[in-house]
Chains A and B, each alone.
Chain A
Amino acid sequence: DAGVIQSPRHEVTEMGQEVTLRCKPISGHNSLFWYRQTMMRGLELLIYFNNNVPIDDSGMPEDRFSAKMPNASFSTLKIQPSEPRDSAVYFCASSSSGALAGGYTFGSGTRLTVV
């Protein structure tokens, strides 16, 4: 298995532009998570899906952030409009049977820089 695949690896964009981050989870995993990592705040959960349905989006910073999971093999995280404070590394992770199972498998992340 190729693991969790995220694209792009790096994204540099200007303030006000729309940014779309993509994730392909491991086949057969039924839970998908989006996290954001910064030095100041560490890894923060943004949203997670179970069987393609959003379960908890309380970590989404504000209405500028939205996430979708149209099918079991694809998810997107969109920021519109982007702001410099959104600069961070965004990780997608997937798992089977929730947190008590074999842990989360993380992608390599997307490093977002908003200038």
Chain B
Amino acid sequence: TQLLEQSPQFLSIQEGENLTVYCNSSSVFSSLQWYRQEPGEGPVLLVTVVTGGEVKKLKRLTFQFGDARKDSSLHITAAQPGDTGLYLCAGALNSGYALNFGKGTSLLVTP
């Protein structure tokens, strides 16, 4: 059973479009992280959110942690081909546990 469910599984859009991907769970997390993975490489950390309701912005990327700390979303404004990759959310149940990862959303942005 997957602890973190991500949707959609695949997303193909054109350059300039906006998109939102989701990460949902029935469990409460002490923190949640988003990673991006490119083919042939390991995931790279984008952001960590800790507080329920927290919103963080990283250039065109906006991350939100749900009030109940069970879900999160990633919004990309004006997507570019360089945003193509696998977006993974990962949560820690508490500080003593390793991260659980969702299966990811595979994003393709075409020119």
Contact = CB atoms under 8 A, between A and B. Distances in A.
Contacts, number: 60
Interface residues of B, number: 25
- Interface range, A side: 20 to 34
Contacts of A103: 33, 35, 45, 48
B31 interface: yes
Given A99-B92, A100-B50, A103-B48, A91 B100 contact: no
A35 B97 CA distance: 14
Interface string B92-111: 10011111111110000000
Given A93-B42, A100-B92, A42 B104 contact: yes
Contact of B101 (A4, A43, A56, A100): A43
A41 B88 CA distance: 13
Contacts of A99: 31, 33, 92, 95, 97-99
A70 interface: no
Nearest to A107: B42
A42 B43 CA distance: 12
B98 A43 contact: no
Contacts of B103: 41-43
B52 to A, nearest CB: 15
